[in-house]
Amino acid sequence: MAERALAVPRVSALPYLLSAPGLILYAVCLVAPLAMTALLSFYTFTMATGISTSMSLANYAEILADDYFHTIFARTFGMALAVTLISVLIGTPEAWILHRMNRRWRAAFLLVILGPLLIPVVVRTLGWALFLGRNGIVNRTLTELGLVTTPIEFMYTFTGMVVALTHVLCPFLVLAVWANLQRMDPATEAAALSLGASRTRAVLRVVLPQIMPGVLSGCLIVFTLAASAFATPAIIGGRRLKVAATATYDEFLNSQNWPLGAAIAVLLLVSILTIVLVWNRAVERRFAASFQG
């Protein structure tokens, strides 16, 4: 095998055979199911007869016309945007602070901040429910101390979803920026300082442009995960504050209107992929202009 790879390149079947098991899995578990779901979204559903295979755009028309769904999609992307913005604003400085720590502190705090990524999302969200629920610790303490008469509402609020989801996803942004800072040449900052730049100026003009790719890719990860998040919005937002993911879940497993659920899922996927493509295109153009090569 090794000898053959060294020889003059000749198209052999070997690499295809090696990737075949993976490709078959992908064809069966990804491509075929996605195609079936796309097809399903054009089917029609009635309470009396269930799913019928006559094709129409009725599901999409319903979603695009109904205020109920407008609210759900606006809430989904509003939430994703808010989570992304907060994550950037707190995660980027935090990565920078970690970068400037001495080795031992840095190792310890990296563990503390990235470690939660290994803990199930349900557990991390439960922390917020315990903390700030109607019967949660904060409300009970405040009521017992007589500081408030009615509990502060956090569960089933938009703010609650954004805070809890930021807690879940922000470590991804720190990780992306941190990985980028690792690759940065520390001499560039030193050079800016020795040439008389103030520290703020050195950070803004020398460090920030270099870590921009990390910040932007971190944003994309956080945004796409937030827009399709299920567990946190389901636990904190509940039935009252539906997002696209929880609405899809309800259509599939409660209302049994699979075609409508499939249409919501397809719209969510298409919007996320469009945003990813546009974002990548914009980032590439931006960086092609500022960094040649």
Identify residues 23-42 at the interface with another protein (CB under 8 A).
23, 25-26, 28-30, 32-34, 36-37, 40
* Burial of residue 238, with CB atoms counted within 10 A of its CB: 0-12 exposed, 13-18 middle, 19 or more buried: middle
3-state secondary structure of 243: coil
Provide the phi-psi class of 171: left if phi over 0, else alpha when psi is between -120 and 50, else beta.
alpha
**Closest separation in Å from C-beta 15 to another protein:** 4
Which residue lies nearer to another protein by CB, 5 or 61?
5
The answer to whether the CB of 77 falls within 8 A of the CB of 227 is: yes
Contact set for another protein, span 209-228 (CB under 8 A): 224-225, 227-228
In angstroms, how far is CA 33 from the centroid of its own chain?
A: 23
Report CA-CA distances (Å) from 272 to 73, 109, 248, 275, 291: 12, 32, 15, 5, 28
Q: Which stretch binds another protein (CB under 8 A): 54-62, 72-80, 115-123, 284-292?
A: 115-123
Which residue lies nearer to another protein by CB, 212 or 232?
232
Q: Which of 72, 162, 165, 234 binds another protein (CB under 8 A)?
A: 234
Q: Which of 7, 54, 67, 120 binds another protein (CB under 8 A)?
A: 120
- Scan for tokens 């992306």, then name that residue: 176
User: What would you report as the CA-atom Rg of the chain, rounded to the nearest whole angstrom?
Assistant: 24
Which residue lies nearer to another protein by CB, 124 or 212?
124
Contact set for another protein, span 81-110 (CB under 8 A): 90, 93-94, 97, 100-103, 105, 107, 109-110
**Closest separation in Å from C-beta 226 to another protein:** 10
Helical spans, DSSP H, in 7-66 = 14-26, 32-40, 58-65
268 touches another protein by CB under 8 A = yes
Which residue lies nearer to another protein by CB, 276 or 282?
276
Contact set for another protein, span 7-26 (CB under 8 A): 9, 11-12, 14-16, 18-19, 21-23, 25-26
Q: Which of 58, 81, 85, 117 binds another protein (CB under 8 A)?
A: 117
Which residue lies nearer to another protein by CB, 120 or 289?
120
**Closest separation in Å from C-beta 288 to another protein:** 19
Contacting residues for 161 by C-beta, under 8 A, at least 6 apart:
79, 232, 233, 236, 237, 241, 243
Residue 119 phi, psi dihedral angles, 5° rounding: -90, 135
136 touches another protein by CB under 8 A = yes
Q: The tokens of 11 are what?
A: 């198209």
| Polymer length in residues for the chain | 293
Pairing of strands 44-46, 50-52: antiparallel
Mask for 62-81, x = binds another protein (CB under 8 A): --------------------
**Closest separation in Å from C-beta 190 to another protein:** 12
